[in-house]
Structure 1
Amino acid sequence: MTTPRSKSRFPVSALLAVAPFALSLAAPAAAQDLACLAQLRAPAQAYGVSAATFDRLTAGLQADPTVLPLLDAQPEFVTPIWDYMAALVDDERIADGRAMLEQWSAVLARVEAEYGVDAATVVAVWGVESNYGRNFGSRALLPSLATLACNGRRQSFFRQELFATMKIVEDGHVAPERLNGSWAGAFGHTQFMPSTYLRLAVDFDGDGRRDLVDSIADALASTANFLRQAGWQRGLAWGYEVGLPAGFDSSGAGRKNKRGIAEWAGRGVRRADGGALAQAGNAALLLPAGASGPAFLVTRNFDAIYSYNAAESYALAIAHLSDRLRGAGPFATPWPTDDPGLSRAERREVQTLLLARGHDIGNPDGMIGARTREALRVVQAEFGLPADGRAGRRVLDALRQARP
């Protein structure tokens, strides 16, 4: 949930699978990391972790240097929003989410009654964060966090997350071998950071443990509790897509620039679906791709979603998926690009077509990794397209036309 860049990180369901925890390092680096951990023993005790737990969990712990480059590789900030949204809100995730709404309807009804957050929003977080529990992340939290606590940027931040992880284990909520997640420490169905877990996780199934790994009820309720604590208002929409009049002055756009909805209406802003704007309340105008792309009026509930992972593209993915789970359609205004993003099924099709052309890229899993990007650069050059390694509509169409 919240990590490296201020509060942001990317959901595991959007991650490219990376190499598992490195089993060994050069001796000097390993010794340096062990020395760092020894220095953390007293601060961990001040945090509330017993010396016995600290010694047990750090015994033989080795560093994972592959986590360090990921500090500066967050897709919410480097991926075109039409690619980001296409992969996170696609037909598969919508269909799976509707199935989860039905399967967990009783629990979700209790969650909404307790915390005031609607079922579609909670399930949308679940879907984006871990693809409904299918993708927790494969990295063991303790070595990842120990590495980040001793190396690179934000060491102080990650030390607190390391101590929080130890506290979770010590209190018996989750066994250390079950604590696998993202490179930055987020874990479980809805990818809580360890310190966030300690503050906001709840025992909703009544078994005495706050288990976000093996208890879906605990995970869903904890997510709703997070949103409520972040300012979620019961019964308030996150916002909606709007249309702007010709010549609209968009200089006042921005998530923080909330104004009375009546003021937006007076400036000619209308709902994209033709409905009337609300007559009361405040909202901000969000233009994630500029004035030529989709426009949205967003409320304080959008801000609550944003607080889960501080990126507007992430919050919009959650918000839009929740609408799609309720039966709404795609955005009325297309993204301002002539090369739209691809769903996961379409990305797998790209990879299948690359394999058919003899490119050794591994299994077609929909994850656009280094080998897929290199193969794309080759075929893009062959087709006379910009050789940027991006999986977009144009290269998919070209591959389809040139199908062997």
Structure 2
Amino acid sequence: MIVHKVMRRVGGVALAAALSLSMIGAAPAFADAGFQNWVAGFRKTAAEAGISCGTYDRAFRGVTEADPEVLEKARYQPEFTAPVWDYFDNRVHEESIANGRAMARKWKPWLDRIESRFGVDRYVLLAIWSMESNYGEILKNPAAMRNVVRSLATLAYADPRRAKFARTQLIAALRILQTGDIDERHLTGSWAGAMGHTQFIPTSYQAYAVDMDGNGHRDIWNSVPDALATAANLLRKNGWQSGKTWGYEVALPPGKLPAGTLTLAQWQNLGVTRANGKPFRNMSDKATLKVPDGRGGPAFLMLRNFYVIKKYNNADKYALAVGLLADQIAGYGSLAQDWQRPFTKLSFVEKQELQKRLSENGYYDGKFDGRIGQGSRDAIKAFQAQIGVEQDGNPSMEVLKYLRSK
């Protein structure tokens, strides 16, 4: 998981624990009174942590009840487990690559400074920005942004499994307000308190936040330079190796290969080569072989920087998606061996067309954003049921052709 998003992911798996049914089912008046009592009681804890009465009062002004949407998101248990190709198709695609290149041009002077100061590859930072907030687009959606103080107080009050962590994050959020880096109206984030363009929870903000633009505030909500520098600082402090890649796509020889970590020279001696035919660099570097889609899919040798990216989010798929997206933004090309999909892949534009046609036929009521989530899959399944084919929910060319023929 991301060190600054433990509320959302642990060990690379989405957190989704059931809350107390009695707490969730309580009558609103009871819940409001209980929450207000909790807020009053937490004042002492905050004071002992050095939070002034003025800061506390400002932070909780207007926060009179727990946030029911936070509770709903906290208890939601997704039933769908995405296959590996689905994860990457929704994150590494034509739009995320094109937008990343546009952002590389737009923010080049700042990326030059950040790269020079922290030694972290600019394309990795752009890929993280894409993965975390779609280059800041999520921050423009009021429905996606919540009052961080209210969200964390809700979890601390109503979620026994997250209460200790939420209390810690709430104190850290109050400290952010007290330092003046952001005011209470703009201290917004996800339901679990992840904040800004690069989605830091409050304690990690305190550990890594950087005032890159020099305006006296570490503002990851409104300052892209601050947000990207903060991500760079996290990677640098966790051991990023400047000038080196995260890993290589490789071609494997027949037969079984050893598990564990070997040098690139040793892997090469075993018959492992770069998939694009180019030579490895820094042959003494150590690497671990990973085949996330089995031997029939793409294979990778992961180097030190791959594991540093996992300090941001402790999931192999996340770190690999960052690496692959970074490489494509930089112009290094796509995979030599594609993922093993059981259907014909759609382009990003074709996925948008699929969603639009599903909507026109009454199956889908979401955005035409080219991202295939559960709503899109349910719509595809409903359409497949109507036409009498297997209900796999996959965004395939076969389904799109059926829709085009209607």
Normalising TM by the smaller chain, what interval? 0.7 to 0.9
Give runs of aligned pairs for residues 16-27 of structure 1, distance below 5 A. 26-27=28-29
Given candidates 221, 227, 245, the residue that maps to 1:237 is: 245
Q: Secondary structure at the match of 2:135?
A: coil
What letter corresponds to residue 208 of structure 2 in structure 1?
Answer: L
RMSD: 2.6
Given candidates 260, 265, 286, the residue that maps to 1:262 is: 265
What letter corresponds to residue 39 of structure 2 in structure 1?
Answer: L
Give the Cα separation in 1 of the matches to 2:205 and 2:311: 15
Give the Cα separation in 1 of the matches to 2:149 and 2:370: 29
Deviation at 1:271, TM superposition (A): 0.7
Q: Secondary structure at the match of 1:284?
A: strand
Matched-pair contact (CA < 8 Å) for 1:87–1:343: no
Q: Secondary structure at the match of 2:248?
A: strand
| CA shift in 2, pair 1:281/1:367, >3 Å | closer
2:21 match: none
Give the Cα separation in 1 of the matches to 2:27 and 2:69: 11
Matched-pair contact (CA < 8 Å) for 2:209–2:218: yes
Q: Secondary structure at the match of 1:113?
A: helix
Matched-pair contact (CA < 8 Å) for 2:363–2:383: no
In the alignment of these two chains, the number of paired residues is 384
Q: Secondary structure at the match of 1:208?
A: coil
Matched, 1:328 2:344: no
Given candidates 207, 213, 221, the residue that maps to 2:221 is: 213
Matched, 1:85 2:88: yes
Deviation at 1:183, TM superposition (A): 1.5
Structure 2, unaligned stretches of length 5 or more?
A: 15-25
Matched-pair contact (CA < 8 Å) for 2:363–2:380: no
Deviation at 1:323, TM superposition (A): 0.2
Deviations 1:229-270 (A, max 9, x none): 1110111110010111112336x1xxxx43222221222111
Give the Cα separation in 1 of the matches to 2:170 and 2:70: 14
What letter corresponds to residue 168 of structure 1 in structure 2?
Answer: I
1:19 match: none
What letter corresponds to residue 95 of structure 2 in structure 1?
Answer: E
Given candidates 102, 109, 117, the residue that maps to 1:106 is: 109
Matched-pair contact (CA < 8 Å) for 2:247–2:302: yes
2:18 match: none
1:43 match: 45
Q: Secondary structure at the match of 1:307?
A: coil
2:20 match: none
Deviations 1:147-186 (A, max 9, x none): 1112222211111111211211121111222222222111
Give the Cα separation in 2 of the matches to 1:375 and 1:282: 45
1:313 match: 317
What letter corresponds to residue 212 of structure 1 in structure 2?
Answer: I
Question: Percent of counterpart pairs with the same letter?
Answer: 42
2:185 match: 177
What letter corresponds to residue 222 of structure 2 in structure 1?
Answer: D
Matched, 1:148 2:155: yes
Deviation at 1:225, TM superposition (A): 0.5
| CA shift in 2, pair 1:370/1:315, >3 Å | closer
1:124 match: 127
Matched-pair contact (CA < 8 Å) for 2:66–2:153: yes
Deviations 1:332-351 (A, max 9, x none): 11212213665653332222
What letter corresponds to residue 125 of structure 1 in structure 2?
Answer: I
1:139 match: 146
What letter corresponds to residue 289 of structure 1 in structure 2?
Answer: D
2:276 match: 273
Structure 1, unaligned stretches of length 5 or more?
A: 11-23
What letter corresponds to residue 144 of structure 1 in structure 2?
Answer: S
Give runs of aligned pairs for residues 44-83 of structure 1, distance below 5 A. 44-61=46-63, 62-71=65-74, 78-83=81-86
Give the Cα separation in 2 of the matches to 1:340 and 1:63: 46
Give the Cα separation in 1 of the matches to 2:251 and 2:227: 37
Give the Cα separation in 2 of the matches to 1:392 and 1:150: 44
What letter corresponds to residue 307 of structure 2 in structure 1?
Answer: D
2:17 match: none
Q: Which one is further off, 142-151 or 27-36?
A: 27-36
| CA shift in 2, pair 1:163/1:25, >3 Å | farther
Deviation at 1:383, TM superposition (A): 3.3
| CA shift in 2, pair 1:133/1:396, >3 Å | same
Matched-pair contact (CA < 8 Å) for 1:83–1:342: no
1:356 match: 360
Give the Cα separation in 1 of the matches to 2:317 and 2:44: 40
Matched-pair contact (CA < 8 Å) for 1:174–1:211: yes
Q: Secondary structure at the match of 1:170?
A: helix
| CA shift in 2, pair 1:249/1:360, >3 Å | closer
User: Structure 2 length as normaliser, TM-score?
Assistant: 0.87
Deviations 1:278-332 (A, max 9, x none): 4211011122122221111111111111111111111111111110011122111
What letter corresponds to residue 121 of structure 2 in structure 1?
Answer: D
Give the Cα separation in 2 of the matches to 1:176 and 1:344: 38
Deviation at 1:128, TM superposition (A): 1.6
Q: Secondary structure at the match of 2:289?
A: strand
Given candidates 288, 291, 303, the residue that maps to 2:292 is: 288
| CA shift in 2, pair 1:370/1:221, >3 Å | closer
Q: Deviation above 6 Å: which 4+ runs of structure 1?
A: none
